[in-house]
Amino acid sequence: MVNEKVNVKDKYRTIKKSLKIFLIVIIIGVILAAVFLSGFLTNKPKTEVVLENPLKDIVFLNTNAQGQVDRDAVVNQGITKFNEEYIDYLLVALGVNNLHKSVIGYGDPEVEFVLDNEAWSSRVDNGNLMTKKTNAEDADLRITMTKKEAVEALLSSDIEDFMKNSVSNGNIQIEMLANVVELGSKGYLKMYKDLTGKGIEVENTE
């Protein structure tokens, strides 16, 4: 009889532990789902950036009377004069307007570009895109490419499509530096999927 009572208590404790674990898993799932939805359903993006293509003047100077553009000259001059405006324009084309400050306290979005071994940091700060030639302090995403590839993207008719093809061909590398929850809370999910053709998976969390 004593053994039967002990067995019943042990079974009861096991059931309670299983229920606790089950509830914890459900709560975590609900939190993750809420974070992802907040990234997708933010109705008013915090950044509204409209820019003019920084290669416009270079293209004009290298266009002859017949309207023919010396593309090689444009690319070479574009590489030589490369500055933060090039990165800003790329980011706007890739959908930086959809990024916003984390809704759960992770701070502002920050993207790091590495071009020909030079690091550039772009941060969305109170609705403004702040880009400078330096390593990012706390980057969420890193995009590695050559300056030539960046200039070619700016000259393309569809920058987003050009970048996506470059990622697929291995000419551009995309690295997730922040965890999935942080990326989702800042609105990166669509940008990442548009560039890579795949969603951010949970196993990439740190």
72-126 per-position pLDDT tens digit: 999 999 999 999 999 999 999 998 988 999 989 899 999 999 999 999 999 998 7
What percent of the chain shows pLDDT beyond 90? 60
* pLDDT number for residue 46: 44
- For the chain, give the mean pLDDT: 82
* pLDDT number for residue 47: 45
| SS3 (DSSP) at 194 | helix
pTM (predicted TM-score): 0.74
Distance of alpha carbon 31 from alpha carbon 11, whole angstroms: 30
How far apart are the two ends of the chain, measured CA to CA in Å? 50
Whether residue 17 has pLDDT greater than 90: no
What is the dotted CATH code of the domain comprising 56-199? Answer: 3.30.1050
CA distances from 15 to 22, 30, 89, 118 (A): 10, 23, 57, 57
Exposed (0-12), middle (13-18) or buried (19+): which is 183, by Cβ within 10 Å? buried
Whether residue 32 has pLDDT greater than 70: no
Q: Which residues pair with 125 in a beta bridge?
A: 128
| SS3 (DSSP) at 206 | coil
Segments making up each domain of the chain, as ranges:
56-199
Structure tokens at 185: 């809370």
Who has greater pLDDT, 57 or 36?
57
* pLDDT number for residue 25: 59
List pLDDT tens digits, range 111-168. Answer: 999 999 999 999 998 778 999 999 998 999 999 999 999 999 999 999 999 999 999 9
Residue pair 88/131 in contact by the 8 Å Cβ criterion: yes
Whether residue 65 has pLDDT greater than 80: yes
